[in-house]
Amino acid sequence: MNRTLSTLALLSALSLAPVSSFAGVKILPLWPGIPPGSGGITEKEKVVERGNGKTVIDRSIHDVHRPTLTVHLPDKRTTRPLSALVICPGGGLTRVVIDKEGNDLARLLAPHGVIGVVLKFRTAKTTTHFYGMEAMEADVKRAIRTVRAKAGEWNIDPKRVGVFGFSAGGILAATAATRCKPGDPSHPDFFAAAYPLLTMKTEVAGRKYQQLLFGPKPTAAQLKNYSSDRNVNAHTPPCFLAHARDDRAVLVTNTELFAAACRKTGVSCTTFIRDKGGHGYGVRDFGKPINKWPLAFVDWLIQRKLATPAP
């Protein structure tokens, strides 16, 4: 079976297996004890299964106050260190879609020698608490630092640690890619995203996302500082972005603006844009042109020696 067929076969099976059925998966707290900014909160985390819980696993996690990392380690330790990818799921900044936009991608990448690390982060808003952008930025940066700190234990090359964002999780991943300086252990070595939220321009993001991140009256400085397209710089790592033009939830303009900023700055940015596909498909194949983006992403990783062809 060739690489493309084996990847397609895995894509079709991703929604059928729970995390616990894969050897080498470990879940650990992101912060020791109570995370900064979460003291005194008694709200309980809620898990909503949107699949059938058996053959289709699609959990949406609400009211997160104790972020975690789900690490997909290979069954056997390889002779050479592997690359790693911190994955930030989507969920509209109010929940974490941890399987469809997290664990599924980690399992897809495992046969290609990439260790997926799924971040369950504190969302901008919970049922009773407002975190805004500050806690989310702290969580994604700590996640990247933690992966590097665990490089020896997990057999990871600390110079091949990337970050990925789905949908609203794109703003977390892109923040790390554009707001960390070289030498900062939070700075990723590559950045990728699917149907990502990347800009805070009102005509693109809308007031809803602005207020979720910064409260009822966002300042001009906040909107500029977290419009990733306006913060691309010479140190931004190589990028891969996938988006459908008919996406009405997060406009393709997010990807187009970011890609244009990369071109202007001289940063390598590969885009996989297709006319049809909508939003929220994750790595699953619904027969639309955009659903082939995982194959293009794997090829992009292989070309950059961040992944290997599947056995």
Q: 202-214 vs 132-149: helix axis angle to the nearest 10?
A: 80
Give the residue with greater pLDDT, 74 vs 10. Answer: 74
State the CATH class of domain 3-303: alpha beta
How does pLDDT run across 7-56, given as a tens digit for each residue? Answer: 544 554 444 444 433 448 999 999 999 999 999 999 999 999 998 888 88
Is 178:187 a contact under the CB 8 Å cutoff?
no
Q: What is the pLDDT of residue 21?
A: 35
Query: For the chain, which residues make up each domain, given as ranges?
Result: 3-303
Instruction: Classify residue 157 as exposed, middle or buried by CB count within 10 Å of its CB (0-12, 13-18, 19+).
Output: middle
Q: What is the mean pLDDT of residues 256-265?
A: 98
Distance of CA 33 to the CA centre of its chain: 24
Q: 99-111 in b/e burial notation, b at 16+ Cβ within 10 A?
A: bbbbbbbbbbbbb
Measured at the alpha carbon of residue 140, what is the angle toward residues 136 and 144, in degrees to the nearest 5? 165
**Separation of alpha carbons 204 and 214, rounded Å:** 16
Q: What is the mean pLDDT of residues 275-303?
A: 96
Half-sphere exposure of 286 (CA within 13 A, CB side): 10
Q: What is the pLDDT of residue 180?
A: 87
The radius of gyration computed from the CA coordinates of the chain, to the nearest angstrom, equals 18
Measure Cα distances from 146 to 29, 102, 134 in Å.
Answer: 11, 18, 18
pTM, to two decimals = 0.92
